[in-house]
């Protein structure tokens, strides 16, 4: 892995995400976790007018169904992140690790 690049943002200190990601990078190749850089060091500033905002539809509940969007699909690690908040599932009595039936429509 002599030409790998890992660019990681600062997730903050609310949880262990930053430490976990450094641990994953280090486990893949110790040289990946060897450099920390600031945003200022990552390149020239962007013109805010050039940033395109994609449409966002919030998750919602309709009867016994919850509809949302897949924000991140990481097939390598088997992770799927959605914009469905836990509160919508808990309204239906679904607890952590509880069974759900899902339908993905593209």
Is 47 a member of any domain? no
**Residue 14, pLDDT score:** 62
Q: Where are the beta strands (DSSP E) in the chain?
A: 60-62, 65-67, 70-74, 79-82
**Residue 55, pLDDT score:** 84
Q: Which two tokens stand for residue 60?
A: 């919602």
Tell whether 28 and 64 lie within a shared domain.
no
User: Tens of pLDDT along 14-42?
Assistant: 666 666 777 777 777 776 655 666 666 66
Percent of the chain at pLDDT > 90 equals 19
**65-90 burial string, b = 16+ CB within 10 Å, else e?**
ebeeeeeeeeeeeeeeeeebeeebbe
What 8-state DSSP symbol labels residue 33? G
Is 78 a member of any domain? yes
Percentages helix, strand, coil for the chain (3-state, rounded to 5) are: 25, 15, 60
The size of the chain, in residues, is 106
Q: Which residues pair with 79 in a beta bridge?
A: 74
Tell whether 30 and 77 lie within a shared domain.
no
**Residue 72, pLDDT score:** 82
**Owning domain of residue 12:** 1-42
User: Residues in the chain with pLDDT < 50?
Assistant: 1
The pTM for the full model equals 0.52
Q: Which two tokens stand for residue 38?
A: 């600031």
């Amino acid at each position: 892995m002599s030409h790998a690049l890992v660019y990681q943002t600062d997730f903050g200190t609310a949880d262990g995400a930053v430490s976990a990601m450094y641990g994953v990078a280090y486990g893949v190749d110790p040289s990946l976790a060897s450099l920390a850089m600031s945003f200022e060091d990552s390149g020239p500033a962007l013109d805010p007018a050039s940033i395109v905002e994609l449409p966002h539809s919030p998750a919602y509940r309709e009867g016994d169904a919850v509809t949302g969007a897949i924000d991140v699909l990481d097939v390598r690690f088997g992770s799927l992140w959605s914009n469905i908040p836990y509160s919508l599932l808990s309204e239906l009595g679904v607890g952590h690790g509880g069974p759900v039936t899902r339908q993905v429509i593209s």
